[in-house]
Structure 1
């Protein structure tokens, strides 16, 4: 009597017959220990949501698959394994088209153009050629300027149709109001800027061999920088308060772009970088590098970009990896480091901008220029300007 009322599993074991292929053991299969197993793929991947008849052993498998399906959906995980949460895509925000920019020009000075052109011409004539360097990506010396901010004038906001349309007349009014304030700050003295720093932005994967932008600018240590930055911040603040600047919260980083791979012609599908170490090793740059450069790179924080910070972090990580690989030679490494202190530091790329000597120059104008509009000498067309003296 007891045998006739035994469970199907017990009866199966007693008779020695194989368990049903639809039993609960099917869900474990070969996937045991390596993922969700066959049961998961049978019910989740095929989209089967209804549970089998009670007592067949498949109800628990289907239920667990449905619970796991909900869990995966809630956690945003992939069904292919433990890949972690899926990347949450940011909502696309249309940006206004930029039409004008506010700048302090430098390229209108003939002496400066001659000084910079000597360096860039020598770089283009280097033998062997510098990898990736091309005349199309070297900026025209006539266009050298320090950008204060960018604007979108005479165009409605793409995110707020009700926002007032900013006009060039408004920008000119702010410009005129700035003139007496700048004159008061300068107190009759000429505004000058030293070009004693050179560095790169946005190297691909932090590798200076794959640089895209090279710039020059003032260092924080230069005697003229503090006043130059103060005037720049005064100008930026006035246009920001008037609501005329796009990305007004970006920090002010005054620099002149000398090389930019985005202008390479003919246009390519991907940006082709250039080799910054090859530029540093060229005779043209050696002639303007400051000998025995012992300045602290932290002094140039006002000009460093976020992309440069990533490059610095990658460099520190690479140095740590090298130390880990040479644990067995610690004593020899310490001796080598002591000996290397006597070698010129120019042989080793330092962290941060390089100290160069490209002269100290007077800046005497503030301009509003129209993007994409050029004059007879290749300069940006200025639609408004005021003197800084």
Structure 2
């Protein structure tokens, strides 16, 4: 079996907007100050993700030498987000409406995102990634699944049979460099840095990262966040569309 290609790009919903920036800046700064303090949990500062990197990943893609990227961008440009939302929110048509074709309904309300709590995909006692999940009444997940499905059906997105788990990564120890980056051994034998996050998860179980922020964009981004002039980090946007 040939090796699985390395992902080069990803489809996402960026979470940093003019509306959310102040909320995320305050909540992330408070979290960073707490968990990195030697008097608290002593987490390496590099593990905390910069505000500019926060997003909801919908799926990853592999475009070696950018082959296939133009097709993905072209597909993104054909998507009408408000129509997808309207189809999700619309009740099943009545027989009478179906016979006459029906009339277009009102525009759906903006899709809002609230990030609350802190979870891990691994054992809390040996975690390397902590994330904030969005509060969802089902519409956000259905919307994102429709977007992901469009790219999968076109053969542009790497197959993933797991249910879509929407999450904003807050902490990832893979970004910790230097003497704190691993534990034990040398070279390939070194183990990835993990932390006992049980008390952190308990403390931030009800933590509000941002509230009622309208989604503004859907984007295709390039893997690997880059330093910005203001000292923040962000992913390079290859293409994006507006929600409206």
Mapping 1:53-68, distance limit 5 Å: none
**1:239 aligned onto 2:151:** yes
Listed as ranges, the gaps of 5+ residues in structure 1 are 1-91, 156-164, 290-353
Q: How far does residue 383 in structure 1 lie from its aligned partner after superposition?
A: 0.7
From 193, 204, 207, the equivalent of 1:272 is 193
Name the CA distance, whole Å, in 1 between partners of 2:206 and 2:225: 33
- Matched residue, 2:216: 364
From 72, 77, 102, the equivalent of 1:176 is 77
- Matched residue, 2:113: 193
**In 2 relative to 1, CA 364–279 (structure 1 residues): closer, same or farther, beyond 3 Å?**
same
Mapping 1:1-389, distance limit 5 Å: 93-108=2-17, 109-126=20-37, 128-131=39-42, 133-154=43-64, 167-179=68-80, 181-182=83-84, 184-185=86-87, 187-203=107-123, 208-219=124-135, 222=136, 225-266=137-178, 267-268=181-182, 269-280=190-201, 285=203, 354-360=205-211, 361-374=213-226, 376=228, 377-389=232-244
Q: How far does residue 188 in structure 1 lie from its aligned partner after superposition?
A: 4.5
Give a deviation string over 1:40-94, Cα, whole Å, max 9, x none: xxxxxxxxxxxxxxxxxxxxxxxxxxxxxxxxxxxxxxxxxxxxxxxxxxxx640
Q: How far does residue 121 in structure 1 lie from its aligned partner after superposition?
A: 2.3
Local SS of the residue matching 2:110: coil
The answer to which structure, 1 or 2, has the higher relative contact order (CA under 8 A, 6+ apart) is: 2
- Asked whether the 8 Å contact 2:27–2:208 carries over to 1, the reply is no
- Asked whether the 8 Å contact 2:53–2:225 carries over to 1, the reply is no
CA RMSD of aligned residues (A): 2.4
Name the CA distance, whole Å, in 1 between partners of 2:55 and 2:224: 15
Q: How far does residue 362 in structure 1 lie from its aligned partner after superposition?
A: 1.9
Listed as ranges, the gaps of 5+ residues in structure 2 are 90-106, 183-189
Name the CA distance, whole Å, in 1 between partners of 2:151 and 2:200: 37
Q: How far does residue 173 in structure 1 lie from its aligned partner after superposition?
A: 1.5
Give a deviation string over 1:168-200, Cα, whole Å, max 9, x none: 111011111112534644724211112123211
User: What is the TM-score when the length of structure 1 is the normalising length?
Assistant: 0.49
* Structure of higher CA gyration radius: 1
**In 2 relative to 1, CA 358–259 (structure 1 residues): closer, same or farther, beyond 3 Å?**
same
Name the CA distance, whole Å, in 2 between partners of 1:243 and 1:369: 18
Q: How far does residue 148 in structure 1 lie from its aligned partner after superposition?
A: 0.2
